[in-house]
Amino acid sequence: MTLIGTPRRSPARPRLVAAQPSSGLHSATQSASVWSVGGGKGGIGKSFIASNSATVLARIGLRVILIDVDFGGANLHTCLGVRGSARVNLSDYLEDRVQDLEAAAIETSVPGLRLILGTLGHTGTALPTRVQRQQFVEAIRTLPADVVVLDLAAGMDRSTVDFFVGADENLLVTTPEPTAIENAYAFLRASFFRRLAAAVQGTPAEERVKEAWAERDERGLRAPADIVRELRRSEPGEAHRVERVLATFQPRLVLNQVRTGEEVRLGFSISSMCRRYFGVHLDYIGYINYDDCVWRSIKDRRALVIAYPQSDGALYVRQIVKKMLDN
């Protein structure tokens, strides 16, 4: 199993259904569906989206494990009212104080939802090598869950991008602010090239892609999609295979903290721009309006969909999850 490259899913995503107590939805040979929530910038609501989506999934009967994949500033537990102190967390797994990753999962107040806290107080460099990141993702896929939701750290370091592109569902979160949108484009650009690099690794096209990327200005390659067109010209045999791999990278976009109709429509503009610039289909799956109930739920350390189930924000979260399950 590789962290990036050809994903487990096919272009037609399998639909998840609520598990019955004895249904055995996942056998020992089946692995969890992994959802990653990223976006590059901090403060855009990744933890809010991750925690509330995981809560919705658990409340419809799916077994869910939520992981705070933050190797420095973990705070996902706050959204669910779980205390971060004196608890087992991701550091215990990374430093071999627990026997496996599941042993780091703790119960939450939501039936069916367990949480693996981030690396609280961890001072070392976590998962610095590709092999270590691969081993971590392999451990995630063995977890006894129907869905594992990864709340990714801010920034665009290699680990964060690898976890994003290596998941089965890639949820890109941004807000309407220019800085957040700029970071979202940069995050998606980094993700595209990680996927592309994995697709050509060990093939005759690998050097061609490296050369094209290094000389992109001289060759007039203004967009990442131009690299693929260059590959189609220089290595037509490899280009078809690479295009098939890249076609499976279909991230979803959620626009958070929306205040106006113009900002709602901004999501379609972002999606259109990504299609032209990256050659990637970015599915604008929904938005969440600015809602005072959101910050109240965070202050109360409760998921919005539980604390204020009739609020607009809770309604939009449930709609987003339903779309992800249906598509």
* CATH number of the domain within which 54 lies: 3.40.50.300
**C-alpha 136 chain-centroid distance:** 15
For tokens 């994949």, what's the residue?
69
Mean pLDDT of 13-41: 59
Residue 19 lies inside a defined structural domain of this protein = no
Dihedral in degrees, nearest 10, Cα atoms 285, 260, 188, 156: -120
Is 63 within the bounds of a domain?
A: yes
Domain contains 289: yes
- Split at pLDDT 50, 70, 90, the class of 24 is very low
SS3 47: helix
Looking at the domain assignment, is residue 1 inside a domain? no
**Higher-pLDDT residue of 207, 306:** 306
Q: What integer best gives the mean pLDDT of the chain?
A: 81
Smallest CA-to-CA distance from 4 within 112, 133, 154 is with 133
Q: In 10 A of CB 90, how many CB atoms?
A: 24
Flag whether 167 is in a domain: yes
Asked which of 76-90, 131-145, 181-195 is least confident by mean pLDDT, the reply is: 76-90
Give a yes or no: residue 198 inside a domain: yes
Residues 6+ apart with CB under 8 A from 8: 31, 168
pLDDT at 301 over 90: no
Residues 6+ apart with CB under 8 A from 139: 93, 100, 101
Query: Per residue in 229-248, is it b (16+ CB within 10 Å) or e — as a string?
Result: ebbeeebeebbeebeebbeb
> What are the Cα distances from residue 123, in Å, to 82, 134, 155, 159, 272?
22, 21, 18, 16, 41
What does the block give as tokens for 63? 């077994």
Whether the per-residue pLDDT at 11 is higher than 60: the answer is no
Write the CB contacts of 234 (distance below 8 Å, at least 6 apart in sequence).
Answer: 205, 208
Q: Return the minimum-mean-pLDDT range out of 205-214, 248-257, 277-286.
A: 205-214
Number of domains in the chain: 1
Phi, psi of 38 (to 5 degrees): -135, -175
Range of the domain at 49: 33-326
Q: Which of 225, 216, 230 is nearest to 281 (CA)?
A: 225
* 59-63, 74-78, 151-155, 197-201, range with the lowest pLDDT: 74-78
Q: DSSP labels for 43-77?
A: TSSHHHHHHHHHHHHHHTT--EEEEEE-SS---HH
Q: Within a domain: residue 312?
A: yes
Which of 138, 113, 152 is closest to 35 using CA atoms?
A: 152
- Give strand pairing partners of 147: 33, 64
Domain membership of residue 26 (yes or no) is no
Instruction: Round to whole Å and give the CA distance between 212 and 197.
Output: 12
